[in-house]
Amino acid sequence: MANYSRIHILFFFFVFIASGIAVSATVFTLQNSCPYTVWPGILSGNDNTLGDGGFPLTPGASVQLTAPAGWSGRFWARTGCNFDASGHGNCVTGDCGGVLKCNGGGVPPVTLAEFTLVGDGGKDFYDVSLVDGYNVEMGIKPQGGSGDCHYAGCVADVNAVCPNELRIMDPHTGIIAACKSACAAFNSEEFCCTGAHATPQTCSPTHYSAMFKSACPGAYSYAYDDATSTFTCSRSNYLISFCPTRS
């Protein structure tokens, strides 16, 4: 798991505890606007696993999932998947252990939609992250909430500008399937915000994270990119779109 993931799991847990226990539920609508099937992967931060952890979503299809107050977790798209009747197989990007119903996170690089739901009028926290790399465009649109409630997402084709050293190629088609983070590609403290670079003061943007940020200004580009990338909304449902056409 990337350093970013550890940081934000702790951050989101603190936000939930500090805000108290809530009683409302939130509806997530997952919509596939891609011209190909995606297999959403879902990882919950507690025992309430939405959508059994994963399922296929054909072009133009959508599905609604209801999460209780206090739920935290992430969504991502798996691409190029092939599963047998027992739900075993693999995906070109975002694979979660060779199973249809994920019980763990997706293998980077993947675009992530991350949430911590507070409910009861408190502020939900959400973001779209490229810290673990990028595979497909993704957007989060709050529905019916109050507060700032900004659209969060990455609607650019980052694969089109991905440098050679970060590219993941689809072995079946020979095209670029995903774009790795610099941390995954080089495993250095500078790019992973670890060791001597483990604080906001010592881990600065790099030319690689700047490339992600330029393509998708509203998405996380590296571990300490909080100021322009974390959003809040109260009493909202959320539309999560794969390959959204606009914000």
Which domains are seen in the chain, by residue range? Answer: 3-242 (2.60.110.10)
**How high is the pLDDT of residue 11?**
42
192: its two tokens: 């992973």
H or E element, residue 200 = none
**How high is the pLDDT of residue 246?**
59
Torsion of CA 96, 124, 136, 155, to 10 degrees: 180
Specify whether the CB–CB gap between 135 and 178 falls below 8 A: yes
How many whole angstroms separate alpha carbon 62 and alpha carbon 67? 16
Tens of pLDDT along 120-176? 778 999 999 999 999 999 999 999 999 989 999 999 999 999 999 999 999 989 999
102: its two tokens: 């994920």
* Phi, psi dihedrals of residue 49, rounded to the nearest 5°: -90, 120
Low-confidence ranges of the chain (pLDDT < 70): 1-23, 119, 246-247
How many whole angstroms separate alpha carbon 147 and alpha carbon 99? 38
How many whole angstroms separate alpha carbon 132 and alpha carbon 58? 25
Is this model's pTM higher than 0.85 or not?
yes
32: its two tokens: 């596939």
181: its two tokens: 């983070």
**How high is the pLDDT of residue 189?**
94
- DSSP-derived secondary structure letter, 188: -
> The dihedral of CA 201, 187, 138, 84: what is its sign?
negative
**How high is the pLDDT of residue 21?**
42
How many whole angstroms separate alpha carbon 90 and alpha carbon 110? 15
Q: Which of 66, 9, 7, 72 is nearest to 46 (CA)?
A: 72
109 cis-preceded (ω within 30 degrees of 0): yes
How many whole angstroms separate alpha carbon 122 and alpha carbon 34? 33
- Following DSSP, what letter does each residue of 13-46 receive, concatenated? HHHHHHH-----EEEEEEEE-SSS-BEEEEEESS
How many whole angstroms separate alpha carbon 11 and alpha carbon 5? 10
Q: How far is CA 70 from CA 21, 50, 117, 155, in A?
A: 7, 13, 5, 28
How many whole angstroms separate alpha carbon 192 and alpha carbon 198? 8
Q: How far is CA 171 from the centre of its chain?
A: 24
